[in-house]
């Protein structure tokens, strides 16, 4: 296992009594981490079955704009809660005790969005929204850099 993934497992183990929100824009590897580490839940897997077709269609339209993000926030915040010991991976900040932010630089984000045929600008807009929410949250945050250096630091 990569050392940064070991660090992530350690962070989760050391904070298993806390509600942990793992945030990252599209293509940061949230789903892959859940599957590889067998830790946590995917916000999308929990929220989309609870939505109407109309709500789902609205949230999945392109380009991603702030109004879509606000609607997603509203729906997630009214329908989901984070449980201690079960990190929730997604794009919406929910009430929690610790944020783990999966930061991805533009170069790697462009590479990943191109591979997945996902819109880079949509991913960047989502990333900006997430970073603004974290900055305004006053919640302890650990930043994991999703790049070739694979290091992390506390903020």
How far, rounded to the nearest angstrom, does the alpha carbon of residue 68 sit from its chain's CA centroid?
16
Distance, CA of 114 to CA of 52 (rounded, Å): 30
* Structural domain boundaries enclosing 24: 3-154
Q: What is the pTM of this model?
A: 0.89
Residue 113 has pLDDT above 90, yes or no: yes
CATH number at residue 133: 3.40.50
Of 148, 66, 147, 44, nearest to 103 (Cα)?
147
7 — pLDDT class (breaks 50, 70, 90)? confident
- Structure confidence by residue, pLDDT tens digits, 23-81: 999 999 999 899 989 999 999 999 999 999 999 999 988 777 888 888 999 999 999 99
Distance, CA of 144 to CA of 103 (rounded, Å): 6
Domain count, the chain: 1
Residue 149 has pLDDT above 70, yes or no: no
- Structure confidence by residue, pLDDT tens digits, 78-112: 999 999 999 999 999 999 999 999 999 999 999 99
pLDDT at 6: 83
């Amino acid at each position: 296992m990569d050392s940064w993934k070991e660090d992530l497992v350690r962070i989760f183990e050391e904070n298993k009594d806390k509600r942990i929100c793992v945030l990252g824009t599209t293509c940061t590897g949230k789903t892959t981490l859940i599957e590889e580490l067998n830790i946590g839940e995917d916000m999308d897997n929990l929220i989309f079955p609870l939505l109407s077709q109309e709500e789902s269609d609205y949230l999945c339209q392109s380009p991603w704009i702030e109004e879509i993000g606000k609607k997603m926030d509203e729906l997630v915040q009214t329908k989901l809660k984070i449980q201690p010991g079960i990190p929730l991976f997604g794009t919406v900040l929910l009430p929690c005790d610790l944020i783990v932010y999966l930061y991805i630089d533009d170069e790697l984000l462009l590479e990943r969005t191109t591979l997945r045929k996902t819109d880079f600008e949509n991913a960047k807009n989502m990333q900006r929204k997430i970073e603004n929410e974290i900055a305004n949250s006053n919640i302890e945050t650990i930043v994991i850099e999703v790049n070739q250096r694979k290091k992390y630091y506390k903020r």
